[in-house]
Amino acid sequence: MTESEAYFVLNLLSGIGPVRAKRLRERFGSLDLALTTRGADLRSVEGIGPELVEKLVLWKETIDFEKERKWVEELGLTVLTPADAAYPASLGEIYDPPLVLYIKGKVPETWPRGVAVVGSRETSHYGLETAKKLGYQLAYAGVPVISGLARGIDTAAHLGALAAKGTTWAVLGCGLDKMYPPENDALAAKIIEAGGCLISELPLGTSPDKRTFPMRNRIVSGLSFGVLVIEAGRQSGALITARQALDQGRQVFAVPGRIDNPLAQGCHQLLKDGAKLVEGVEDILAELEFLIPRESPTLAPRPLPANLSGDEEQVYAAIELDETPIDSITQTTGLPSGTVSSTLLRLEMRKLVKQLPGKVFVRTS
C-alpha cells in the first residue's frame, strides 16, 4: 500500500482525523506502517483509545476501500492526499489539513491562493449584488474565488466569478456524489465547465449536516490568502470561517452594511476586531500585492508574477522596463488589440502595470 492509499483508508475510518493521523505518522514513520502494526503499539499513540485501536486493526473488515476507489473512478473524480505532489501547499500549512481531497473538475497545476467569499444564506439585495460585483472583479483580476456553493452570498460570489470568465472553486459539506443545496446543481456544472472544480474531504455517500459545514469552512479559508465576509449575522457560520482564517494566519476582510441591518452585525464586529474594511476590490488587491514578486531594480527581471493566465504572461512580458506603447505590446504579442486592452486592464487592477498618458504602459516598481 502506498502512503497516498493509506491516507485514503484512514479518511474512511470515523474518528481518525487529521490530527490523529499526524500523530500516527510521527510515531510509525508512515501511515502504511500504522495500518499494519499491532494493537499494543497503537495504544501508545496519544488520542488512540481502545475503540480506535480496534478500528485500525480491523479496517479491512469494516470498510470497503476498493469499492470507494471504484466509485471515484466511475464519477470521474480525482483524489489527492498530503502524500501527493499536486496536493495544495496552502492546505499543508494549516493545523489540520484534510487527509483526502475529492475533486470534480480541473485540478489546478499550482493551486494559486485565492480569496474566500462567505456570508449569510439569508441575505439582502445589497448583499447579493455586492458579492456578485466583488466576485466578478476578483476573478477578472485573475484571483480565484473560493466559496461553499451555499445559498445566498456563496452562490452570488460563484456567479460573479463565472460572469468574469474567471476561476472559482466550491468546497462542499457533503460527498461529491450529492449536491447541497440541490438547486445549485446547474451552478456546480457551470463551475466545472468553466475550468473550476468542486472539492470535498468527505467520503462518497456522506450527507451534509451541522458537523460537516464547519469542517469544510477550514478548507475554504485554508485555500485562500484571505477571507472576505459579506453580510453575516452575529451567529453566522461565516464568522466561524473568519475565525479559522485568523487561526491559519490568513487576512480577514469585511464589507460594512447598514447599522440597522441584523445581517451586518457580524461584519461590523469583525471590523471592530481589526478586519480590513472593504469598499471596493482595490482594498483586497492591495493586500494581495505583497504576495506578487516585484521587478528587481537591476536590469535582470525577476520571474513573472504569480497567478497569470497565458495572455497575461504574454502582455506583461511585452512591457519593457521603461515606457511601452500599447501598439508595441500588440505587435510583440501578436494578440488581437481587444485582447491586449482587456488584459492590460486586468493587470492594472492587480497593480502590476500602470497606464501613462498616451496609451503608454509601465510595469509597477
CATH, residue 52? 1.10.150.20
Task: Report the percent of the chain where pLDDT is more than 90.
Answer: 72
Nearest partner of 228 among 161, 312, 305, 309, judged by Cα: 161
Any domain includes 318? yes
Tens of pLDDT along the chain (365 residues) come to: 899 999 999 999 999 999 999 999 999 999 999 999 888 899 989 999 999 999 999 999 989 999 999 999 999 999 999 999 999 999 999 999 999 999 999 999 899 999 999 999 999 999 999 999 999 999 999 999 999 999 999 999 999 999 999 999 999 999 999 999 999 999 999 999 999 999 999 999 999 998 999 899 999 999 999 999 999 998 888 999 999 999 998 999 999 999 999 999 999 999 999 999 999 999 998 887 654 444 433 333 445 676 788 888 899 989 876 678 998 999 999 999 889 988 998 888 888 888 877 788 888 75
Q: 175 and 278: one domain? A: yes
Q: 320 and 224: one domain? A: no
Query: Please, which residues have CB within 8 angstroms of residue 295's CB and are 6 or more apart in sequence?
Result: 301, 302, 321, 363, 364, 365
Q: 232 and 341: one domain? A: no
Any domain includes 95? no
Domain that holds residue 241: 105-289
Domain finish residue from 289, 319, 342: 289
CATH of the domain at 191: 3.40.50.450
Cell digits of residue 93: 500549512
Distance CA 363, CA 341 (A): 15
Find the distance separating the first CA and the last CA of the chain, reported in whole Å. Answer: 51
SS3 63: coil
* DSSP states of 308-327: --HHHHHHHHHS-SS-EEHH
Domain count, the chain: 3
For 115-137, the pLDDT digits (tens) are 999 999 999 999 999 999 999 99
Any domain includes 73? no
The label of the residue with cell 498616451 reads 358
Distance CA 81, CA 100 (A): 5
Q: From the CB of residue 182, how many other CB atoms can be counted at a distance below 10 Å?
A: 7
Any domain includes 29? yes
Any domain includes 92? no
Which alpha helices (DSSP H) does 194-262 contain, by range?
212-222, 237-247
Q: 119 and 256: one domain? A: yes
Any domain includes 237? yes
Nearest partner of 195 among 299, 108, 262, judged by Cα: 108
Cell digits of residue 174: 457533503
The label of the residue with cell 502512503 reads 3
Any domain includes 154? yes
Distance CA 4, CA 83 (A): 5
Q: From the CB of residue 66, how many other CB atoms can be counted at a distance below 10 Å?
A: 8
Any domain includes 125? yes
Q: 20 and 113: one domain? A: no
SS3 146: strand
C-alpha torsion sign, points 299, 300, 306, 307: positive
Q: 109 and 247: one domain? A: yes
What radius of gyration do the chain's Cα atoms show? 23
Cell digits of residue 331: 505587435
Nearest partner of 364 among 349, 353, 350, 348, judged by Cα: 353
Residue pair 192/168 in contact (Cβ under 8 Å)? The answer is no
